[in-house]
Chain A
Amino acid sequence: MNSVEYLSLRFAREPSIVSRKIAGEFILVPIKQKAGEIESIYSMNEAAGRIWELIDGEKQAVEIRDAIIGEFEVSREEAEADLIEFLRQLEKYNFVKTV
């Protein structure tokens, strides 16, 4: 799948992932297990947290890219490449799925 096709996809968050913003950092907690069985949590920086907030099951990835360009000092090319890489990482963790 090329980048144009990938950017046309819509992504939704997995409902089993809880996110919180704590002291300026975004934390993701998978809640598939009991509290005592959680082995890992995930920490994200500001740009990653903003992308996570924008993933709503309705926006296409290209719309998320444009929102990031509008909010951060980043070129279109860099924002696009980073977004695709980040979304693929979230897919690998099973934190998001395409809808």
Chain B
Amino acid sequence: ESRRPYKRPKIEQVRL
């Protein structure tokens, strides 16, 4: 209970 803070998995597209 080394457990890291959690944030909802998120993926973002970055246009080049």
Contacts and interface: CB of A to CB of B under 8 A. Distances in A.
Interface of A: 28, 38-48, 51, 70-74, 78-79, 82-83, 86, 89-90, 93
Chain B contact residues: helix, strand, loop or mixed: loop
Given A42-B11, A86-B11, A90-B11, A74 B16 contact: no
A72 B16 contact: no
B10 A44 contact: yes
A46 B5 CA distance: 10
A39 B13 CA distance: 10
B11 A83 contact: no
11 contacts: A41-B16, A42-B12, A44-B11, A48-B10, A71-B4, A72-B5, A73-B4, A74-B6, A78-B6, A79-B6, A89-B11
